[in-house]
Structure 1
Amino acid sequence: MDMLLRPTGFVDSPFGHDGKVARLAGGLCWFSMVELIGLDGEGRRQSVELVPVEGIEDRLDGTAAERWACLTRAARPLSLGERTIPLDQPQVMGIINATPDSFSDGGKHEEVEAACFAGADMTGAGAAILDVGGESTRPGAMTVWEGDETDRVRPIIERLVRGGNAVSVDTRKAAVMEAAISAGAHMVNDVSALTWDERSAEVVARGGIPVVLMHAQGDPQTMQDSPRYDDVLVDIYRWLEERIEAVVAAGVSRDHIIVDPGIGFGKSVAHNLELMNGLAIFHGLGCPILLGASRKRLIGALSGEAPADERLGGSIALALKAAEQGVQIVRVHDVPETVQALKVWRGLRDQALTPKIG
């Protein structure tokens, strides 16, 4: 029987709990319990058992043992141009939408000058990575011609890279990826997990740069019509697992892969909430986790349909929920506020991890 492992029973500090807790992905979180999710031959949830960390390795073999090793193994730092981004604590990725129709800030960064000033402000406020996109993928958004998308992102990427920033390109098109990489982009963030364009995996492999594989059910035009899953946590885990293997087979280094469960992309509010509660399970894939929940409709649905520009509080809450489960990168619109929240979270962790003497 195949088995997934979801860390739970988080504790503030490992001190005094030798052998009873494990460190999650080499970060600042420790857990004392594991939910063992048994799957049948068709990958459906068959059983659930809550077990302590102490002695768990005696219960695991084969694939389950490999997943345990992934859960407790430190993520390697990201090398993005001149910058090395450590992943032993949560990092912030700032969003620069060079589009007229983004769901949250459409048109705000459409001009090159405005986008570059915004990027400089985000880096100054503590963003480790800047993510530049030229096509909206909000629900109902139409596809942008690759030439127009390239014209939107290339000059912004060139200037941001010259300024010494770590820059990612948010695109699902191979031609845009090629143009962005030639302009100096250090990473690709693809909402289709390299499935939308048959050349994209080859482009990323040739570029030798990290890539974010995000889960999405359907395309932007239809993904929110009626999203369905047998078991959203298990289904997305297994889908990402398959995509990782396919992308590695296409020549991309496993060390260059980051995964994103895709909050809001073909998911209902209930699906999104279940994913947020179960984020720690994805460490079992052996790749760093990126979460993009900033200003998503999920927040509005839980707060009287607050519009996108009034979802800061909810965005911070989701970023902190991600940090609590060891997520390494949070992709956000509101960089200064998120960085401040994570600094306070880090201060709490540091205090908890300070040995008590006497």
Structure 2
Amino acid sequence: MLRSLLGGPQSSGGDTSSSVLESKDVLGLAKYMKSKECRKVFVMLGAGVSTAAGIPDFRSPETGLYANLARLNLPYPEAVFSIQFFRQNPHPFYALAKELYPGKYRPTLSHSFVKLLSDKRLLKTCFTQNIDTLERRAGVPDNEVVEAHGSFASHKCIDCKASFSDEDMKRHVDASSIPKCEQCDGLVKPDIVFFGESLPESFFSSISKLHEADLLIVMGTSLVVHPFASLVDRVPDDCVRVLINMEPAGDIGELDNDIVLLGKCDEIVQQLATELGWDDELKEAWAATAESVETQVQPESASATTSGGAAVEDDLEDEVDKLADAVGASLTTDDTTEERAAEPTTSADSHHEKDLLKEKSSSHLVESLDTAQPSDDAHATSADDATKFQVSDTKV
């Protein structure tokens, strides 16, 4: 464990005598959060938080978008997020971007809970793997959000790095046209980390903040994508670490101050808010997110949760199918686009990337890529370190 390597003691996990927790459940967590010992909270979010909003995760074997993109004439599904392929043919990515662009999906109760943490001056940093900007749309301040794999929040030229306005990007996406840089006529794309690109500087520069954490809440991620997954080892030894997820993840649960809460993120967050006395505030915070939706295309996660109805993910497979069909339709609007999309990449680097991703696919595609952890906050430069998007296989 990284904390042991850094010189801190490591707990065996069996003895709870040194724990600051009265119990390792929602009630014990709530009591700790209400204590004066809990003042600096950090949050890590993965795809499982956003699937409840209706956004598909990208690599689940049957319902993931990669599986459905396979029916399109791409050289390989992950090519849609390859910087080399994007340079040759940006049309598939922008067809997909039109369906996923911010404004179609509503933040979940879990996103609104993070907003409450900020409102109460408990939140220090929210690290997210997701590119959907739902943290921002829930009202979490920009300076408290670190988008480890980039997002649709900003855009720039891939050549000269000149910024491109969100208004212009949205206009191009809505019109199914390819945005070009006004300065050099290069291709423009959202600041989403593609295969072959480095992670944002903001991610590495924010890691050192974790040394002051009193509480780390990890939601909706299976903690196998590095360097993001390594953040759980950057907190102090006495920090309370909480995993809210459908399945166990990483080594959370092995230490005295670890809590594992298995289940749907929104439901557990609701229980926690009730124990904290924040129930009404959480509902109000979520209700306010309705204004962030420009075109509602998916069921609202909290309405399904609060009414006790069927879970949103029951319909997710149908929604992914519709999404893939929409992408396919967008790709065929130009008679030459499918032909371009079907053309294999020609550079040696692109062939190597394709082979690498195929080799890794036996280990669940993107999420299990064997990435190197950053050293002394160094930049990640390999395609593996640039693993991106919502790649958790968990669902809430």
Alignment TM-score, normalising by the size of structure 1: 0.28
Task: Report the structure, 1 or 2, having the larger strand content.
Answer: 1
Q: Kindly name which structure, 1 or 2, has the bigger radius of gyration based on alpha carbons.
A: 2
Alignment TM-score, normalising by the size of structure 2: 0.26
